[in-house]
A and B are shown apart, each in its own frame.
Chain A
Amino acid sequence: MTIITTISRIAGLFGACLMAATGALLTYEVIARYFFVKPTIWAAELSQLCLIWGCLLAMAWVLSIRRHITVNAVTNLLPPGAQTVCVAVSLLVLIVFSGVAAIYGWGIFHDSFDRGRTTGSLLNLPSWVAELSVPVGFTLLAAQAVVELIGLRRAHLPSLGRSHE
């Protein structure tokens, strides 16, 4: 189980680097357009790819450090036993949603991969490069949620996240 949490953390930190990389890519795009009068065909598309992968890779890590945004106003008033039940219910919702997203997301990826579909943009990347992030990210999230669910037997967890960001 700690292996899954470690993978989530590494994936999350890699996702964070991808998001920061978008800043460099898009600044280069602005410089290329205004100073070299030669806009790139890759900066915008690669930045979007970084954001998709960055966000979806970070989801499981954000869960493991309890930073998903939740409404805690009511659960804060409950006794610890009831809080645990609420967290368990929340994790089950998360597992079902992630499972469905991962399975159907895999279908989309597989279909694009089989047919050799491309984005149709100037860079014309294979579509599956972005689409693969959904099954990968949500499988990791579902696995992390299972780890958290099993961990509930050992330690009390008042909430899955914060009321704000």
Chain B
Amino acid sequence: MTVLLILLCLFALLLVGVPVAFALGGLGLGMLIFGGFSPLMVPQAILSTLDGFILLAVPLFLLMSNILLKGGVGRDLFTAVQAWVGHWPGGLAVATILSCGLFAAISGSSVATAATIGTVAIPEMVKRGYGKRFVYGLLAAGGTLGILIPPSIPMIVFGFVAEESVIALFLAGIGPGLFLVSLFVIFAMLHARFGGGYTPVPAAKWGERLSATQRALPSLALAILIVTGLYSGAFTPTEAAAVGFTAALLITIFWLRTLTWSAYWAAVRESAITTAAILLIVAGAKVFGKAIALYRIPQDISAFIAANIEGPLIFILLVSAVLLLMGLVFEALSMILIMTPVLLPAAIGLGFDPIWFGIFMVIMVECALITPPVGLNLYVIQAVARVSLGEVARGVWPFLALMIITVGVLYAWPDLALYIPFKW
């Protein structure tokens, strides 16, 4: 009964339009006062959240992606990939997906990925006669790779809340990320083969390929530096983010010579706004998490699940359904922050690996990013392509189905995620 009442209050506050951070924090505060606990826990929880070294990676990865975005790295990546695969069946679509995958490796955010690649790929694909719905769906879904292929801000937040290794989460994202890229590529080629209607691109000359690759090389090197640095233990995720930020500055100022002072300042402002908005939600969720722990709510939910849900498959199906429903109206990080403390103990109790569960949550959150009416990537593509939300939303369904298939494969074969961090 208490659980229901608390959930009801939380949803009421959120749906009234109280900013997520203050809805979580405010309800947590109310619960503390109502339960006779000291409100001193509120500033303590805020301070202990922001004091987390791992969360420093959030502004730095955001800065890195915003600087690369403002420096026009997306165009270079897309041009280079297109030079190699543009002449394949559905070549521009394949180039778009591969560019999203590559940009995802130097960006922790789906917005940056969708916006960067979308800006260059959408006009090009529409000009070549690809169906608009397919193009918008492809870009909205391709952008979500940004949070599955490391680095990833939602994984940092999950790692922080679940007290799990962010490096293990990053490495566990690589397998499912590559799998999803492959599914998208296969779908794009089949769509081109049987859907038709586009003008093929002639194969680029070797000279064009090499010069385009040379321009994109520093960004590719940055992606390799970050992943290998993390894998070898040379950097912590936070240090990788700092090195990535500095490298992004060097690449865009000295190599590409595309970053202006005003673009840099815009990147700093934009990253600060997003960081403050995100980390305040994490702090609010910490207050809420402390309050529900004092009311023993996660334990009650775990006990309820243990008593009423038979087996891990039913649990995952139920959680997937709940996350998909929540994803219709909730934003990605709020879902992770609200649901992780509630679901993770039950998931561990049922024998799931917490790292596996984190990757599962991230893929479900990716689905939330492209499901209307509230889907972050739908808004991004809507803004980039200047079309209606409905038109973008209608194109995402096949890609949503491919993401659900990935979840199915991940369930059947957990090593898709766990092999690289633990068995390689």
Contact = CB atoms under 8 A, between A and B. Distances in A.
B374 A164 contact: yes
Interface string B364-381: 000000000110100100
A12 B272 contact: yes
A96 B204 CA distance: 62
A26 B18 contact: no
A69 B331 contact: yes
- Majority secondary structure, B binding face: helix
A51 B56 contact: yes
A19 B268 CA distance: 8
B17 A160 contact: yes
A22 B243 CA distance: 11
A105 B43 contact: yes
Given A30-B242, A131-B47, A65 B273 contact: yes
Interface size on A, as a range, is 35 or more
B272 A54 contact: yes
Contacts of B273: 16, 58, 61-62, 65, 67, 165
Interface string A38-64: 000000100110011011101101110
Interface stretch (B92-100, B156-164, B277-285): B277-285
Nearest to B238: A26
A86 interface: yes
Contact of A71 (B17, B56, B111, B269): B17
Interface of B: 13-23, 25-26, 29, 39-40, 42-44, 46-47, 50-51, 53, 55-56, 59-60, 63, 111, 234-235, 238-239, 241-243, 245-246, 268-269, 271-281, 328-331, 333-334, 373-374, 376, 379
Interface of A: 12-13, 15-17, 19-20, 22-27, 29-30, 34, 44, 47-48, 51-52, 54-56, 58-59, 61-63, 65, 67-75, 83, 86-87, 89-90, 93-94, 96-97, 100-101, 104-105, 107-108, 130-131, 134, 159-161, 163-165
